[in-house]
């Protein structure tokens, strides 16, 4: 029972940190829109989701120009996020890596969880309909969160303390 509470506490603390980081990064972002008259256009552009690029997990995804990835050591512990749009928010090679992914179907999210398991994230697994956390034997911790309405996902990998 204590172990279950510890896992739940660990999840909620991690989720809270993810939300805080997301809000901080969103607030610090640069949309390259310099005037207020372009603000409406920015909102429309950022929120539009094209259904033309939707595909099953087994098909090659046509990546948006906003697809980013890293070749850092910590990032190499994750399966590459082959989603339409991926925005790297934080990349500290020695400690943690965080990204947002957009155009992620439920099937894509579940396939990414399976790919994480194949990469060794099978210890201390905790999950629900819209989140997954696990550790690996090398001391890394991964946390995934899925937002179905937005077809988006966040991922954090870090060294466990």
* Helix/strand/coil percentages in the chain, nearest 5: 35, 25, 40
Which pLDDT does position 43 carry in this prediction?
36
Which pLDDT does position 2 carry in this prediction?
58
Which pLDDT does position 161 carry in this prediction?
73
Which pLDDT does position 4 carry in this prediction?
56
Which pLDDT does position 13 carry in this prediction?
52
SS3 8: helix
Tell me the pLDDT tens digit for each residue of 101-137. Answer: 999 999 999 999 999 999 999 999 999 999 999 999 9
pTM for the predicted model, two decimal places: 0.62
Judged by average pLDDT, the poorest of 37-41, 61-65, 70-74 is 37-41
Which pLDDT does position 71 carry in this prediction?
85
Between 137 and 12, name the one with better pLDDT. Answer: 137
Strands (E), the chain: 85-92, 96-102, 123-127, 131-135, 140-147, 152-159
Q: In which element (H, E) is residue 117 found?
A: helix 106-118
pLDDT band at 15 (very low <50, low <70, confident <90, very high): low
Is the pLDDT confidence value at 44 over 60?
no
Which pLDDT does position 140 carry in this prediction?
96
Between 108 and 31, name the one with better pLDDT. Answer: 108
**CATH match of 2-26+63-159 with 2.40.10:** no
């Amino acid at each position: 029972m204590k172990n279950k509470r510890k896992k739940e506490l660990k999840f909620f603390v991690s989720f809270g940190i993810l939300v805080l980081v997301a809000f901080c990064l969103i607030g610090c972002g640069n949309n390259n829109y310099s005037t207020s008259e372009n603000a409406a256009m920015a909102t429309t552009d950022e929120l539009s989701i094209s259904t033309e690029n939707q595909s099953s997990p087994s098909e090659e995804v046509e990546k948006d120009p906003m697809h980013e990835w890293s070749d850092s050591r910590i990032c190499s512990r994750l399966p590459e996020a082959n989603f339409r749009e991926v925005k790297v928010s934080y990349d500290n090679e020695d400690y943690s890596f965080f990204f947002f992914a957009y155009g992620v179907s439920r099937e894509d999210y579940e396939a990414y969880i399976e790919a994480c398991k194949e990469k060794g994230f099978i210890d201390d697994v905790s999950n629900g309909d819209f989140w997954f956390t696990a550790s690996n034997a090398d001391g890394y911790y991964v946390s995934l969160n899925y937002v179905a309405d937005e077809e988006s996902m966040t991922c954090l990998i870090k060294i466990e303390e």
